[in-house]
Amino acid sequence: MSGLLWNPEISIGDLLTLVGFVFAVVSLIFAGVQLRRNTAIQRAQFLLDITDRYFRDSDVRRFFYKLDYRQFKLDFKHFIGSDEERWLDSLLYTFDIIGRMVKMKVVTREEVDVIAFQASRVLRNPEVQKYLQWLDGEYQREGRTERAHDDARFLAKTLFGQKAA
């Protein structure tokens, strides 16, 4: 009957195998650390890009202050096709992008907390709520099943624990 025999002698081949195994484990750990570091850098870059996008356009920033101080009143007769519609859409699409990244778990709620105040002022604004309701109707007329700016609404729910329209 043949079986496995224990040989207490260690050969050069055994040592080279052990060194190769140790090298592979160290390389795997190093790759994991690098991957984690690169992921953190990419998340930080995303947040920097979003912040830059948010603050870059001075007209959008001025419009944000109109929303923040409740000076904006939605009048569809003058709003549709106006700069204000474009600026509000810019804000909402920015929050859509952030909401989508949170939903995909690319960034965490804590990481996007830096824009929570701005998101709150925009997404909780009664005039913005009216606009979102109007857009929902437009989406329905087009046969779309999702709501307008659903990712921005997800962001609001995530940040504030409540539904935004």
pLDDT single digits (tens) 105-133: 988 999 888 889 999 999 999 999 999 99
Residue-range definition of the domain harbouring residue 147: 44-160
In order of 24, 30, 39, 65, 119, the CA distances from 35 in angstroms are 16, 9, 6, 40, 31
The verdict on residue 13 lying in a domain is: no
The verdict on residue 104 lying in a domain is: yes
The verdict on residue 10 lying in a domain is: no
Q: Residue range 89-101: average pLDDT?
A: 93
d(CA 88, CA 57): 12
What is the chain's Cα-based Rg?
27
The verdict on residue 124 lying in a domain is: yes
Q: Give the tokens for residue 54.
A: 């948010």
The verdict on residue 34 lying in a domain is: no
> Do residues 155 and 98 lie in contact, with contact meaning Cβ atoms separated by under 8 Å?
yes
d(CA 121, CA 118): 5
The verdict on residue 16 lying in a domain is: no
- Structural domains counted in the chain: 1
The verdict on residue 36 lying in a domain is: no
